[in-house]
Chains A and B, each alone.
Chain A
Amino acid sequence: MTTILSNGLVIGAIYGLVALGITLVYKKSGVLNFAHGEVGMFGAFIFYVLSVEQHLPYLVAAAAGVATSAALGCATFLLLARRRADPLNMLIGTLAVAGVLIFVANEIWGPDQFYVPPPLVDVRVSVAGLTFTGSRLLVLGTGIVLAGGFFVLFRTSRMALLFRASASDPYAAELMGVDVTRLDVITWTVAGALAGLAAVLVAPLVGFDIFFMTLLAIRGFAAALLAGLSNVAGALGAGLALGLAEATLTRQTTQPGLPEAVLVGLIVLFLLRPQAAVRRTA
């Protein structure tokens, strides 16, 4: 039971981290960024190249990976910025960007699996009877700190006020002197960095390939949706709930694909009963 709980929390934190970036972009631009996973995947591969092939320190390689994803997130927005008034066109544009990134990654790294040695291997921490290795605790801790950080940021900072104003009515915000485009660029860059961070943290826990973030992004979308697509702190909560549900199901059944089927059931249930989802905006 404790194994299921600790596994579920770590998996859930990963989903929550992915959902955080998706929610941020949706909250600001009203767009579902289907390239979110691929942007993160690119960062993970840069991290791999610098860490394993170039033997750079872990933190330097991780920072470079996150920065690459941030730049790609920003580039995605700039490429599609002309169509930002039409979320459906933007959505299709992000699908195309995802296709291009997958193609380029396949050209460079191919379809093989890659491995990165996990950090903090000697660290083992027990919290409330649950044991976490250092790298797993890093994922969980980062998720909680970031969700908490965004929660506080959205309630206290002037930047968040401008963010909310421009998301609510970009035209009025622009008339009041808010640089809406700049805020969009910042949002997409931060979301890209979050995707990169999630990918860099997950990569050492699993063997990864060019599609590993695509599958994670689907769960991230589910978590973001459960949190009402506008609640950054709730996104982590929904991610944790999904992770725990999946860990329990995976343990209970040997039938392939059942967790995915239950995931769909959960999403439909929450959509049919929206009051059950985490709707409060943070």
Chain B
Amino acid sequence: MKDTEAQVKPASMKKSYVRMTIALAIPFLCAWRLSEFGNTVVVQMAIGILIAAGLHVLVHWAGQISLAQVALMGVGAFVTARANADFAIPLPLAIVLGMAGAVVASLAIGLPALRIRGLALAIITLAFAFAASRWLFVQPWLVPQVSGIPLRDGRLFGFDITQSSQLVIPIGLVTVAVVAITHHLGKSALGRSLRLVAHDEEVAAATGISVASHKLLAFSYAAACAGLAGAFTVISIGRVGPQAFPVGKAILYLSAVLLGGPGPVFASLRAAAGFAAFPVWFRGLGHYIDLVGPLAILAVVIASPAGLNGLDQRLHHALARRRHAVPAATASGGTRS
């Protein structure tokens, strides 16, 4: 048994190193190989991935639901922009403040979530999103200019953020780091505890898990990701106003995560990246692009309720069956003509 582990571990470690190297190289490859337009698409995909990573933890691992992630993204964006533009706080620190702002705002949703769950929580978060877009984002103390807040700094970690070819590098690296952390979270003891809370709160409490703190942790993690995505939105545009965070976008991101389905985080990230990139890459479809999202969601809801993860599993099983079918036929003496 030990021998088997010793044989398997180095290979799997080698595999994960290769994956990590490829992931870290992607931002640099994009900056070097893609045009300005291509890099802009990659930045949009990264923002979508960040939102989806947090939302996947919240929805599929913690069993909560939120339609307020884009509102939290807005909070992160405006706090980052104000901190940098009006208080001259360096951009990296302003981003951290933006994430902290989103986490604090998320507690407004997270605390009611300790008492309620499921569909009622969906309404609460939707109401929060509407209140944010119609009241919070028009408050002069948060958004002093109607047209949006312009950033003071032009550089982030030494990269010129006014050039999309350089902007893609810090955003890409941070996104890779967040994805790695989220993936690791899913496999950790904390991730398993979260899933147990989602599966059965009473059993979780009986095994000594603090249900309330785990729920709040999931909300905080999702909010921090949303705040980071908001900060990157303002960095990529340079100036951000309330119209950048419509309520409909929250529905789109939640749909992307539900499209991904329960299980590993990568399916949700694929869906979110696709939703972010599709409208830009397929601009030729014109306004029909707005129909693609709802139709794709309907198709998956009807055909595969377990989402892309479910489709992946079905495909995997089908391939496995096919692989095993050939030796079986040969063993039974069948010949292929």
A contacts, CB < 8 Å to B: 26, 31-32, 79-80, 82-83, 86-89, 91-93, 95-100, 103, 106, 218, 221-222, 225, 229, 255-258, 260-261, 263-264, 267-268, 271-272, 274
Q: Which residues of B contact A98 (CB under 8 A)?
A: 294
A103 to B136, CA, bound (A): 28
Q: Contact: A261 with B302, CB < 8 Å? A: no
Instruction: Tell me how far the C-beta of B21 lies from the nearest C-beta in chain A, rounded to whole angstroms.
Output: 36
Q: Contact: A263 with B297, CB < 8 Å? A: no
Choice from B118, B124, B297 contacting A267 with Cβ under 8 Å: B124
Interface size class of B (residues with CB under 8 A): 35 or more
B290 at the interface (CB under 8 A from A): yes
Q: Which B residue's beta carbon lies closest to that of A32?
A: B119
Which of B126-134, B170-178, B268-276, B316-324 lies at the interface with chain A? B126-134
Contact A96/B298 with A222-B123, A256-B135, A264-B128 known, Cβ cut-off 8 Å: yes
Q: Contact: A264 with B119, CB < 8 Å? A: no
Choice from A93, A257, A264 contacting B301 with Cβ under 8 Å: A93
Q: Which A residue's beta carbon lies closest to that of B298?
A: A96
Q: Contact: A257 with B135, CB < 8 Å? A: yes
Q: Contact: B138 with A256, CB < 8 Å? A: yes
Instruction: Tell me how far the C-beta of B295 lies from the nearest C-beta in chain A, rounded to whole angstroms.
Output: 7
B204 at the interface (CB under 8 A from A): no
Interface of B is mostly: helix
Q: Contact: B120 with A86, CB < 8 Å? A: no
Lowest 6 CB-CB distances: which A-B pairs, in order? A257-B135, A99-B294, A257-B134, A96-B297, A96-B294, A264-B131
Interface of A is mostly: helix
A-contact 0/1 string along B293-326, CB 8 Å cutoff: 1110110011001000000000000000000000
Q: Which residues of B contact A271 (CB under 8 A)?
A: 112, 115-116, 120, 124
B331 at the interface (CB under 8 A from A): no
B182 at the interface (CB under 8 A from A): no
Choice from B65, B123, B135, B298 contacting A88 with Cβ under 8 Å: B65
Given contacts A96-B295, A267-B127, 8 further A-B contacts (CB under 8 A): A80-B302, A83-B305, A96-B297, A103-B291, A260-B130, A260-B134, A264-B127, A272-B112
Instruction: Tell me how far the C-beta of A89 lies from the nearest C-beta in chain B, rounded to whole angstroms.
Output: 5
B contacts, CB < 8 Å to A: 65, 108, 112, 115-116, 118-120, 122-124, 126-128, 130-131, 134-136, 138, 251, 254-255, 258, 287, 290-291, 293-295, 297-298, 301-302, 305
Q: Which residues of B contact A92 (CB under 8 A)?
A: 254-255, 258, 297, 301
Q: Which residues of A contact B305 (CB under 8 A)?
A: 83, 86, 89
Contact A267/B290 with A100-B298, A218-B130, A256-B135 known, Cβ cut-off 8 Å: no
Q: Contact: A79 with B298, CB < 8 Å? A: yes
A86 to B302, CA, bound (A): 11
Q: Contact: A221 with B126, CB < 8 Å? A: yes
Q: Which residues of A contact B291 (CB under 8 A)?
A: 99-100, 103
Q: Which residues of A contact B254 (CB under 8 A)?
A: 92
Instruction: Tell me how far the C-beta of A2 lies from the nearest C-beta in chain B, rounded to whole angstroms.
Output: 28
Instruction: Tell me how far the C-beta of B62 lies from the nearest C-beta in chain A, rounded to whole angstroms.
Output: 14
Q: Contact: B258 with A225, CB < 8 Å? A: no
Instruction: Tell me how far the C-beta of B54 lies from the nearest C-beta in chain A, rounded to whole angstroms.
Output: 18
Q: Which residues of B contact A31 (CB under 8 A)?
A: 119
14 interchain pairs, CB-CB under 8 A: A32-B119, A87-B118, A92-B254, A96-B293, A98-B294, A99-B293, A100-B295, A100-B298, A103-B290, A103-B294, A106-B287, A221-B127, A261-B131, A263-B131
A107 to B115, CA, bound (A): 42
A98 to B295, CA, bound (A): 11
Contact A89/B301 with A257-B131, A264-B128, A272-B112 known, Cβ cut-off 8 Å: yes
Choice from B127, B295, B301, B302 contacting A263 with Cβ under 8 Å: B127
Q: Which A residue's beta carbon lies closest to that of B301?
A: A93
Q: Contact: B126 with A218, CB < 8 Å? A: yes
A88 to B138, CA, bound (A): 32
Q: Which A residue's beta carbon lies closest to that of B258?
A: A92
Q: Which A residue's beta carbon lies closest to that of B59?
A: A88
A256 to B133, CA, bound (A): 11
Instruction: Tell me how far the C-beta of A94 lies from the nearest C-beta in chain B, rounded to whole angstroms.
Output: 10
Instruction: Tell me how far the C-beta of A97 lies from the nearest C-beta in chain B, rounded to whole angstroms.
Output: 7
Q: Which residues of A contact B116 (CB under 8 A)?
A: 271
Q: Contact: A225 with B123, CB < 8 Å? A: yes
Which of A83, A93, A229, A258 has its CB near the most chain B CB atoms (within 10 A)? A93
